[in-house]
Amino acid sequence: MKFDEFKVGQSFKSKILINEEEFRQYLAFSKVKNILHENPKLAEKEGIKGTLLPGRAILARAEGEMTQLGVFSNNVMLLYGMDGDAKWINRNT
């Protein structure tokens, strides 16, 4: 599908792999401090399986991936909002 074929409200999914080293680099650079990153047992108690990655890190990586695609050159990208996670009492991460 080409970029100009997307319609308002249409969505798509993609996977991005962020490895442990990149995650640690992000935390060091951003200076993010979150008890759920530092205490895996507490994170598990809160229903988090695996590593909790901040949503901002995901958005930053997604933006970086998108800017590598020619179809996005000369376009402005804007984050206008995000929904909470229904499986986590609608809290944002």
pLDDT at 53: 80
Q: What are the Cα distances from residue 29, in Å, to 8, 9, 10, 26, 82?
A: 35, 34, 34, 5, 23
Q: Mean pLDDT by 10-residue block, N- to C-terminus, for the chain (93 residues)?
A: 75 78 88 84 88 80 78 68 68 61
Instruction: Phi first, then psi: give them for residue 56, nearest 5 degrees.
Output: -65, -35
17 three-class SS: coil
pTM assigned to the model: 0.54
Q: How far is Cα 47 from Cα 41, in angstroms, rounded to an integer?
A: 10
Per-domain residue ranges for the chain?
15-77
